[in-house]
A = this chain, B = another copy of it.
Amino acid sequence: MRQSMQQLADDSARTLADRVFARLQDDIVRGVIAPGSKVSETDLAGRYGVSRGPLREAIRRLESRKLVEREVHVGTRVASLSFTDLIEIYYVREALEGQAARLAAERMSDQQVAGLYQLLAQHEQQQDLREDTAYFQREFDLDFHYRIIQGSHNQTLIRMLIGELYHLVRMYRYQFSTTANRPQKALHEHRRIVEAIESRDAEMAELLMRRHIGRARENIEQQAQQRNPQ
């Protein structure tokens, strides 16, 4: 499962810059390096045992993914997502993953669809077995969405969602240790999406996916409002 979920910090990466990038990204997304903290080139170069060259390249790549923010001649710091940023991302996800679901309904193989059902079953089982299922829910949720995105067979779409956007979503979840607080509902929505895909109803798959993500967004907005009542 993990293998399918992200490009791992592969030590067999071809260049130092690749390795440093993978490691740095992981450290940032998982919160090992605190959001908002400074990222000194000299410092990190020493810590990772490379010169500043490859490290700069890694930082630039992270910058283009919006995982760090750079200010010329001043420095780089780990991005800290605001609620506004997260809401914006969810609007983009709604559009892109809706399209992904539509394409997946048209293009996924029967085998892949069967795999989705298996995943749903695992998810339900996990929910029965454990009390604190927050972590597993997160992972299952990600895996579910990843699979449908891949099912679109649209490389550009896949790159934009998995290659760019999802790192931010993951970082956010680590930052706020978000617990999925509507697990049964989400699971039910997942099932309906898979059913639409199975029956090759592209229109319906898109609609359901957009609703699914739209509700997640509304959920976040409500939480924000409760914490920060005007």
Residues on A close to B: CB < 8 A?
14-15, 56-57, 60-61, 64-65, 72-73, 85, 88-89, 91-92, 94-96, 98-99, 103, 154-157, 160, 164
What are the 8 tightest A-B residue pairs by CB atom distance, in nearest-first order?
A95-B99, A88-B156, A64-B64, A14-B72, A95-B95, A88-B154, A92-B156, A92-B157
Q: Give the CA-CA distance A89 to B155 in the complex, in Å.
A: 9
Q: List residues of chain B with CB within 8 A of the CB of A85.
A: 155-156
B57 pairs with A88, CB closer than 8 A: no
**Which of the residues B73, B88, B99 comes within 8 Å of A94, measured between beta carbons?**
B99
A92 pairs with B154, CB closer than 8 A: yes
B88 pairs with A155, CB closer than 8 A: yes
B73 pairs with A91, CB closer than 8 A: no
Least Cβ distance of A43 to chain B in Å?
Answer: 20
B72 pairs with A91, CB closer than 8 A: no
Q: List residues of chain B with CB within 8 A of the CB of A95.
A: 95-96, 98-99, 157
Q: Give the CA-CA distance A92 to B85 in the complex, in Å.
A: 21
Q: List residues of chain B with CB within 8 A of the CB of A72.
A: 14-15
